[in-house]
Amino acid sequence: MNARVGTVDAGRTQVIARAAQLLRAAGTFLPDGASTTELATATGLARPTAHRLLGTLAEQGLMDRDPATGRWNLGPELFLLGAGAAQRYDITDTARDLIDRLARDTGESAFLSARRGDETVCIYGQEGSFPLRSHVLHEGVRFPLGVASAGLVILSHLPDRDIDAYFARSNLSMAWGETHSEPELRRRIVSTRTTGYAVNPALLVDGSWGMGAAVFDRNGRPAWALSVTGVETRFRDERQREMGELLLNSAHTLSLRLRDSAIPSTGSPRTRA
């Protein structure tokens, strides 16, 4: 291959990757949107680069900018693309009754998250009846694997070689603190594998707890997670066991529903921040 052609192709690939980073970052700022500076910071891009790419994405309808505030949001073309992709990937209708039942039976907020490479994305939530709630998780929020109960339970159920490879390319303690260092996460992985469910004891926000159980695709890979979140006083040891059992039963039921479905896993390819 001509060296110049190879350089041009690499440059185009980098542009596409950066544009994808901006789209994913914008999704975490819903519904209020984000400034150019916020998106540049979130993706590690120089502000002029982010501004230029955002303008191009807006021309294609993939981003939209509020003329009054200057804040960016996902564009209308993504809605149309997403509606088409939902026919292949969305399991919300299959899982909705189970999530609603979890919220009703526990009184806590219940969620469905999907694995997307090295991240989990919250795709559906239902509030519980208890008046005090944790607001860490909501639809559209992304966390790295190992962060929050959904990400931890999916990571814990991966094969050991995949876990080792993940830690080789990730250093969560830089962004999430020493409670998310490899030794601490490996300790929680052992605990999660023992009980079957993951517990997040207020590692992201003081007083905000979460629990999660993995949902497996038809190939037996952890591709989604069911979780509940709430305030610390609602997560005493005995109640943890009760909610853990509910989560595991619900996740097992959903895994069985998906086993014979045509819905593929959303876990690959791996995404990079």
pLDDT (0 to 100) of residue 268: 54
* Per-residue model confidence (pLDDT) at position 12: 81
Question: Is there a single domain that holds both residue 52 and residue 97?
Answer: no
Number of domains in the chain: 2
- Pairing, β 109-116 against β 197-201: unpaired
The most distant pair of C-alpha atoms in the chain lies apart, rounded to whole Å, by 66
For residue 197, the SS3 value is strand
Strand pairing class (142-144; 197-201): unpaired
Mean pLDDT, rounded, for 243-265? 88
Do residues 75 and 94 both lie within one domain?
Answer: no
The pLDDT of residue 96 is 95
**DSSP state letter for 202:** S
The answer to whether the CB of 235 falls within 8 A of the CB of 202 is no
74 DSSP β-pair partners: 63
Helix H, strand E, coil C: the string for 89-121 is: HCCHHHHHHHHHHHHHHHCCEEEEEEEECCEEE
Domain boundary among 47, 80, 113: 80
Q: What is the pLDDT, as a whole number, of residue 207? A: 85
Q: In the predicted model, what is the mean pLDDT of residues 186-192?
A: 97
The domain of 9 spans 3-80
pLDDT tens-place string over residues 11-24: 788 889 899 889 88
Question: Rounded CA gap, 98 and 101, in Å?
Answer: 5
Q: What is the pLDDT of residues 14-67, one digit of tens each?
A: 889 899 889 888 887 878 899 999 999 989 999 999 999 999 999 999 999 999
pLDDT digits 0-9 by tens, 84-140 = 665 556 789 899 999 999 999 999 999 999 998 899 999 999 987 766 555 667 778
Lowest mean pLDDT across 81-85, 160-164, 191-195: 81-85
Query: Do 135 and 68 lie in a common domain?
Result: no
- The DSSP H or E segment spanning 175 is helix 173-176
Asked whether residue 3 carries a pLDDT value surpassing 60, the answer given is: no
Bond into 131 cis (ω within 30)? no
- The pLDDT of 62-75, averaged and rounded, is 92
C-beta of residue 152 within 8 angstroms of C-beta of residue 198: yes
Average pLDDT over all residues of the chain: 87
Q: Residue 58 is which amino acid?
A: A
CA distances from 267 to 113, 121, 144, 188 (A): 11, 11, 12, 21
Same domain, 129 and 255: yes
> Quick check: is 218 in a domain?
yes
User: Residue 264 falls within a domain, yes or no?
Assistant: no
Please state, for a pLDDT cut of 90, what percent of the chain lies above it: 63
Tell which phi-psi region holds residue 227, choosing left (phi > 0), alpha (psi between -120 and 50) or beta: beta
Please give the share of the chain, as a percent, with pLDDT higher than 70.
86
154 shares its domain with 245: yes
Range scoring the smallest mean pLDDT among 39-53, 130-144, 151-165, 220-234: 130-144
- Do residues 180 and 234 share a domain? yes
| Residue type at 81 in one-letter notation | L
